[in-house]
Amino acid sequence: MRRTCRTVFNAPGPNLLRCSPVFAAAVAAILSMTANISEVLADDPVEQRVNALLGQMSIEEKIGQMRQANAGYGNPPDYLGDDIRAGRVGAILNLVDVDVVNELQRIAVEESRLGIPLLVGRDVIHGFKTILPIPLGQAATWNPELVEKGARVAASEAASHGVNWTFAPMVDVTRDPRWGRIAESPGEDPFLTSAMAVAMIRGFQGDDLAAADTIAACAKHFAGYGAAESGRDYATTNIPENELRNVYLKPFKASVDAGVATFMASFSDLNGVPATGNRFLMRQILRDEWGFDGFVVSDWDSVHQLSVHGLTEGDRESAYEASTAGVDMEMAGKAYEHLHDLVADGSISTDVIDAAARNILRIKFLLGLFDDPYVDPDELPPIGSEHALQVAKQTALESIVLLRNEIGVLPLQKGKVKSIAVIGPLAEAPYEQLGTWIFDGDVSLSVTGLDGIQNLAGKDTKIRYVRAMPTSRSRADVQFEEALEAAQQSDVVVLFLGEESILSGEAHSRADINLPGAQAELVREVRKAGKPVVAVILAGRPLTLTNIVDDVDAILFAWHPGTMGGAAIAEVLFGVESPSGKLPVTFPRMVGQIPIYFAQKNTGKPPSPETTVHIDDIDPFAPQTSFGMTAFHLDAGYRPLWEFGFGLSYTSFEYRDIATSVAEIRAGETITISAELKNTGGVPASETVQLYVRDLVGNVTRPVRELKGFRKVRLDPGEATRVEFQLHTDDLAFFGRDNTLIVEPGEFHAWIGGSSDAELRVSFRVLE
């Protein structure tokens, strides 16, 4: 059972010391002012409690709060116990043994001078034991309410193991699928990313940060990390301030507004100043402009790495730059050991140390750690509960995107399909389907694609399974002949392709994002059987599928779908549910198109079908002309393979009758933009209706389209509904030439449809 100090507040004197000594110190500071301690503490704001404690702390203890130590090996009480007793550690990470966590908390609370409890951090990115789809897959659901439920499940499972702080959500906007960490990102758009960030924060933190089943969230990586050059992890980022404010900072601002407890600095260099030492980010924007009152933690050893970047000469200078920039806590490094000397010689003001310690203590109080420092797993739901598995399955189900469905091969008809060849290295891959950053994932809970098909197909359907390749990266074709034979003997082929989990995530960037290994050759070999071929792609990023798209009849993109991925995939394959996922990121035709995203600028020479030409259509010895003088690639055109927001269904949807409530609005007013949506097909299904807007003339050039709203609507066959979006003029604001937020008068276009290529358009004006 969790231990509490609440019961001793009415007994001043020696009995007070039976609880955490920090409460004795805090109460002693106000004891002379009142005899009724319990009443004072009940009414005492958090800030007063923080200040009362801070006033009792030595400079060494304050700096100790700024240190996060790695507890991920050996027996942590042996090598961290003395530092915790001395107040030299404020947080630990990578410990998920609840008994050991409780012992470290006991040492901190009962054996240190002030009894300050520990923060316990862990990368709980998309689940703890029960694994949800990767965040990019969760974004494909376009369902923030469901994403919030998933984060709530993850928080509860993690809390039961002693974790009280997660390094999530990652809210880096990225437009480069080569970057391995796109798997952790909600994608390319700041509006959708913001919605997913808020949902995850609410799920992790709940309504009461001190509740037993909540954990503190951490918005990362601040900022611009997703724009790393050529998609190489940790590489330099160069983002003009206007672009930074209009795109990359928006999800972080939304995170602050949602009450996120902590921020993490990016590894990367931003415009010449690494984020870990970037005062512009940490002080001007985060603190002064946004008023953030949580704390900022470095990424792993990134304070030391300031000298590796070349910003500083050694850890002493690195500690100075990071702490004065506003990084309150150092993760897993030793540079902040220099802070005491920097204060002693006057290089750093004690105000810097006080501010950092205050920010950290504030979160500890809000988490309720001073009242309930211990964890009793029996007070929380069991791991892999029925509810957890249902949320994981529903999230996986709604994340699957149907990219292609020629000849109506899907859904498979039970009773008509007598035999299925299940082929590929990812059909029976319980670990690989979990994706990146799943240190604690329970593989035994996984339902694979093969499992799902066998469970749904029924005993009268023959399943022929051939792995075909040892791994997704294999170049050997040792089982290709067996795969072809299985395909020839079956009514339909379901190919499970993609990339193993190790091929995406941190430090796992790829320059070539085709299907790895000999998978394309496997597709062509199986195609020889002449049977319908369905490709199910499991991957941590968009892949360039141009080399196989014409050799398969249907494509389901399932991302890395998590624990219940196989069950969800099977339900889509057999039409138990129509696919409803929509792409949260653009899929390029080839890697040379990157970056390619829907919210590009128009340029002075926008391309069109009439002004482009393909390299194969150029006559030999053609004269030097500019082929229409527009922005496109000779070998790829200007269109992606699949656009942002795209996703097919087993039914058809018709959009019509777009309208605005008024033709003109003034600043501070709201306009309603609506359209009718009808299910014109034969099955019930969900459709994500999307609103896009373009500001035709701006103080700075504006994107050709910006996502401004979305809504998931479920309709029965023949059913129609009118979908409305409320658009306030604040939603049209942008940062102008002087990097201040403005709303300009002028004409706007708006589209409503099922993807960023929506054709149904209306115009309105904003008046001065």
CA atoms within 13 A on the CB side of 18: 14
Residue 673 near residue 750 (C-beta atoms within 8 A): yes
Q: Give the separation between CA 336 and CA 66, rounded to whole angstroms.
A: 8
Separation in Å, CA 48 to CA 8, 31, 55, 240, 370:
20, 14, 11, 41, 14
- Asked whether the bond before 223 is cis by omega within 30 degrees of 0, the reply is yes
- Helical H runs in 122-260? 135-139, 144-159, 190-205, 241-243, 250-257
Pairing type for strands 91-93 and 119-122 reads parallel
| The two structure tokens encoding residue 171 | 């809210």
- Using CB atoms within 10 Å of the CB of residue 652, give its burial: 0 to 12 exposed, 13 to 18 middle, 19+ buried: middle
Task: State whether the Cα torsion 319-322-328-332 is positive or negative.
Answer: negative
Phi and psi of 165, rounded to 5°?
-155, 125
> What residues act catalytically?
299
Phi first, then psi: what are they for 417, rounded to 5°?
Answer: -85, 110
Please report which helix (H) or strand (E) contains residue 537, including its range: strand 533-538
3 state SS of 335: helix
CA distance 135 to 116: 34
Which residues have a Cβ under 8 Å from the Cβ of 544 and sit 6 or more positions away? 513, 514, 587, 588, 589, 590, 591, 641
Secondary structure (3-state) at 250: helix
For residues 125, 127, 131 and 134, what is the CA-based torsion angle, rounded to 10 degrees?
-30
- Kindly state the helix (H) or strand (E) to which residue 58 belongs, with its residue range: none
- For the chain, the C-alpha Rg in angstroms (whole number) is 28
Helix axes 565-573, 386-399, angle to 10 degrees: 50
Q: Which two tokens stand for residue 341?
A: 């000397």
How far apart, in whole angstroms, are the C-alpha atoms of residue 446 and residue 671? 47
Query: Going by C-beta distance under 8 Å and a sequence separation of 6 or more, which residues neighbour residue 237?
Result: 224, 225, 227, 228, 229, 268, 269, 270, 271
Which letter does DSSP use for residue 237 in this model?
A: B
Nearest to 163 by CA among 435, 361, 439, 386: 439
Say which DSSP state 150 is in: H
d(C-alpha 255, C-alpha 222), whole Å:
11
Q: Taking a C-beta distance cutoff of 8 angstroms, is the pair 507, 180 a contact?
A: yes
